[in-house]
Structure 1
Amino acid sequence: METLGERIRSLRKAKGLTLQALAGNAMTKGMLSLIENNKANPSMESLSYIAGQLGVDRNELLAQVPTAELRELLQEVEKLYKEELQELSDFTPIIEKIAPYADKLPYRYESARLLEIYSRCQYYAKMADWQKALEKSEDMYEGLHLVNNIADVHMFRAMMKFNEHRYAESLKMLQASRRSFDNRNAVLDPLKKLDFDFHEAILYFALGKDQEAVHLMNDAIEYSKEHQIFYRINDLYRVMGFHAILVGNREKKDYYVHKLRLFAEFTDDDKIETTLDLLEAHDLNSFVHDYAKAERLVDRNLEKDKDGDHHQFYLEKGKALYGLGKLDEALTWLNRHRTAEFLHHPYDLSMNYEKDAYLALIYEQQGKHDLAIEHASIAKELIDPMPDLPYKTFILGVYKKIVQ
């Protein structure tokens, strides 16, 4: 396969041009020679000039991979990427498929999208140089004036800060991105607007700015209704329902749960039903204290858990059993629970940190005071950086009771 320099030389010779003739007045003969011998890379401005001198489109010079092959690769990779996002387990096969093409992709949408997916997969695979491909992807999107794709890149980069629990920095980046699109009068499609609204709202929640978050969430819900767009309705109702639980607004919680159950029935989405059962079980355990009802909800879902993936239900099962006074059984289920790596929001983290507090209570009642102190201390250390949510009050109360 020809390199860029080889292709320029071939076209130059085919048109009977000397190096000097092709260089013209805008380039030096020496620089053109370096480019043809692959010892220098032309800028996009220089590439456009060379293409004009040769009478071809710039993309023709860059097209090292046939268009049909590129589209076939992207179609295959998009499918694999969508499937892998459900599991978050092994992105290596996708990386290996794109890697041979990464340095020789032509200047077009398919290339930019492949580089974006390549970067995302490298990030999830914990590879250090993931940002290099993302920057190349963003440059291509910018050159092609694809503002919605640029927005996706900006949001991904901002949410990586969220994953590092740098919530204020993430919010600042997200808001700067929105301003940049406003300043250039770029029109984002409605789905991107809802993405920005949702991510900005959950960052406000993460920083304890509930008023700003609720206002933005309500605006997004109204916008969705007005435009008949159900793209983010599941996420919006779920977060609002969870927030209603945290602030003790039973009426709002019931409203959002009811709306979500209707939406689950409308879309025939079992995952929404599972999420709602988990939300209800958590509410019954941690706030209502109806442990028997919580256990029934949990058991209904554990029966369907063929792969043993429902670790969050293990936690709720353990809490329900503790509330029912079945300490040994509770201990077994709590020890089976693992906090998922993809959880980064203070709401999710704080909820999971309850585990060690419950373990501490059980060990204390079993007369294992040293173990009780150990787990109470773990829970306190984990919850200390989190916002002042009911989980923090509970965990610090357990710590005080056992340690002090």
Structure 2
Amino acid sequence: MMTLGKRIRQLRKERNMTLVDLAGDKITKGMLSLIENDKSKPSMETLSHIAKKLDVSIGYLTREGDEEWTRQMLAESDFSHYFSFPFRHIEDNILPYLDRVSQSSKGMDLYNIIRIYYRYKGEHDIADEYTDKIAKFYRSIGIEHLVVRNRLNDAISLMYSQDYREAYNRLVECEAEVTEFKTYDPHLELEYVYLKAIFSVLVDMGECVLLANRVIELSYDMENFKYFFSANMILGYYYGLEGEMEKHGEYEERLKRYLQFNRQEKYELELVDEGHPITVFYVLTEDTKQRAGLYEAYIRKVEGHHEDGTIHSSNMAFYHPLFLLEMAYFKKDYGTVVENYKEGMYIRSAAQHPIDRIIMATRSCVYPLSLYYLGEKTRAREAFSNIEATIEDIKRSVFTKEFNMIRDIIFE
């Protein structure tokens, strides 16, 4: 087991701090050297100072929990995976050994994963307990802006259980704290505004528009474009569905300029038509031949990137069958669509925000439409109803316009 002194030295070096940096004006460099070499025991006041400087709790410094094990648990599974969540890893390797979770920032990362696990399970009381644990830790070491960030992460965790309105309400509750602590964490406001925009889709679309525009403003002001693509996509999509094509075009042009100097894997997967990056109607198009050509070129491009190793295999495994299916639909090869469609293939098991879920449900309607055009109207209606059930909680939205138009066709 690592001694107190060795643990302090390891943490200091991990943070690229010198003895002088860690000592500050509270203790001498010589005293700190004695502590690190286990030749002197620090007082509680000194220990508190060291813990705060190292961004850990006193409990962690005094060997509460197991840092190496905690890091290993975080490294052994991809918790940021878009298409799956490691339930088995958590149930077999983490939950039985909670006493080993280190009381450090890494331990709080693991607590956040456990919180998400319980959101998935619908066990919100337990999930909220982990929100409190994380808040208590950061408060104990005096880092209040991370207490606020924990509240944002708590709202994000509710996306995994699709409790969007509750997430919105929790964001509203912490707005004053975000305003107070954004000085200490400049990007706190940007993340807050973006999250509130996403969750306000089902509460107040007018507010969503204002907030998404604010995200774009803050992106320029802070030179942080993490949410720039998404905010422009949402607004361009919204105005396109509303028939305000001039405004739709403004956001599309801004996005095209942005994409000229910012290429990422996720954009390669999302953009079928780089000339018109913001799609308004995903399935209902007057020129199916032109759309089929776009899909054919897109699939060749993505397959090439995959062979080069520039697109993650899990992304390819999920999206490739979808685009092949949609290309077959636009080529009016309805038999191929019916043969290759699998229920749930458009549903990602990891969290999606409501607009993404609506888009994927709309795209999956190539299946009931293919049945309809093959004369299988009863099966088409049943298939559509099954898809509609997956977005029952969010179907009353401006973003379901195309979905509702497809319903009108199938249930004529």
What letter matches 1:174 in structure 2? L
Is 1:197–2:193 an aligned residue pair? yes
Query: How many equivalent pairs are there?
Result: 349
In structure 2, the partner of 1:243 is 238
Matches within 5 A, 1:345-384: 345-354=353-362, 357-382=365-390
SS in 1 for 2:258: helix
Distance 1:176 1:106, change over 3 A: same
Shift of 1:195: 0.9
Q: Larger RCO: Structure 1 or Structure 2 (Cα < 8 Å, ≥ 6 residues apart)? A: 2
Is 1:297–2:294 an aligned residue pair? yes
Shift of 1:284: 5.9
Shift of 1:271: 1.9
Shift of 1:77: 5.8
Distance 1:255 1:333, change over 3 A: farther
CA–CA separation in structure 2 for the residues paired with 1:376 and 1:61: 55
CA contact (8 A) 1:264 1:273 kept: no
Distance 1:127 1:105, change over 3 A: same
In structure 2, the partner of 1:168 is 165
CA–CA separation in structure 1 for the residues paired with 2:218 and 2:239: 21
Matches within 5 A, 1:162-241: 162-182=159-179, 187-207=183-203, 209-241=204-236
Out of 78, 86, 90, the position equivalent to 1:90 is 86
What letter matches 2:371 in structure 1? Y
Out of 343, 350, 363, the position equivalent to 1:342 is 350
What letter matches 2:164 in structure 1? Y
CA–CA separation in structure 2 for the residues paired with 1:314 and 1:125: 26
Shift of 1:193: 0.9
In structure 1, the partner of 2:23 is none
SS in 2 for 1:230: coil
CA contact (8 A) 1:198 1:220 kept: yes
CA–CA separation in structure 2 for the residues paired with 1:324 and 1:224: 40
CA contact (8 A) 1:141 1:150 kept: yes
Shift of 1:181: 4.4
CA–CA separation in structure 2 for the residues paired with 1:145 and 1:381: 46
In structure 2, the partner of 1:42 is none
Shift of 1:189: 1.7
CA–CA separation in structure 1 for the residues paired with 2:102 and 2:88: 23
CA–CA separation in structure 1 for the residues paired with 2:346 and 2:223: 38
Q: Percent identity?
A: 16
CA–CA separation in structure 2 for the residues paired with 1:177 and 1:111: 24
In structure 2, the partner of 1:135 is 132
What letter matches 2:138 in structure 1? Y
CA–CA separation in structure 2 for the residues paired with 1:171 and 1:213: 11
Distance 1:342 1:365, change over 3 A: same
Distance 1:330 1:153, change over 3 A: same
Out of 393, 396, 411, the position equivalent to 1:387 is 396
In structure 2, the partner of 1:322 is 329
Shift of 1:360: 3.2
Is 1:146–2:143 an aligned residue pair? yes
Shift of 1:143: 1.8
Distance 1:335 1:302, change over 3 A: farther
What letter matches 1:394 in structure 2? M
Is 1:157–2:154 an aligned residue pair? yes
Shift of 1:215: 1.0
After TM superposition, the score normalised by the length of structure 1 is: 0.69
CA contact (8 A) 2:381 2:411 kept: no
- The worse-fitting range, judged by mean Cα deviation, of 74-83 and 366-375 is 74-83
CA contact (8 A) 1:107 1:140 kept: yes
CA–CA separation in structure 2 for the residues paired with 1:181 and 1:325: 52
Distance 1:188 1:79, change over 3 A: farther
CA contact (8 A) 2:79 2:86 kept: no
Distance 1:213 1:85, change over 3 A: same
CA contact (8 A) 1:282 1:316 kept: no
Distance 1:360 1:123, change over 3 A: same
Distance 1:366 1:234, change over 3 A: closer
Distance 1:173 1:97, change over 3 A: same
CA contact (8 A) 2:182 2:189 kept: no
CA–CA separation in structure 2 for the residues paired with 1:82 and 1:353: 26
CA contact (8 A) 2:158 2:164 kept: yes
What letter matches 2:61 in structure 1? A
In structure 2, the partner of 1:256 is 251
CA–CA separation in structure 1 for the residues paired with 2:100 and 2:342: 50
In structure 1, the partner of 2:407 is 396
CA–CA separation in structure 1 for the residues paired with 2:396 and 2:105: 42
CA–CA separation in structure 1 for the residues paired with 2:45 and 2:187: 40
CA contact (8 A) 2:281 2:402 kept: no
Shift of 1:113: 4.1
CA contact (8 A) 2:237 2:279 kept: no
Distance 1:313 1:181, change over 3 A: same
CA–CA separation in structure 2 for the residues paired with 1:261 and 1:376: 34
Is the radius of gyration larger for structure 1 or structure 2?
Answer: 1
Mark the runs of 5 or more structure 1 residues left unpaired by the alignment: 3-50
SS in 2 for 1:352: helix
CA contact (8 A) 1:357 1:398 kept: no
CA contact (8 A) 2:148 2:174 kept: yes
In structure 2, the partner of 1:331 is 338
Distance 1:333 1:237, change over 3 A: farther
Which structure shows the bigger proportion of residues in helix conformation? 1
SS in 2 for 1:85: coil
In structure 2, the partner of 1:103 is 99
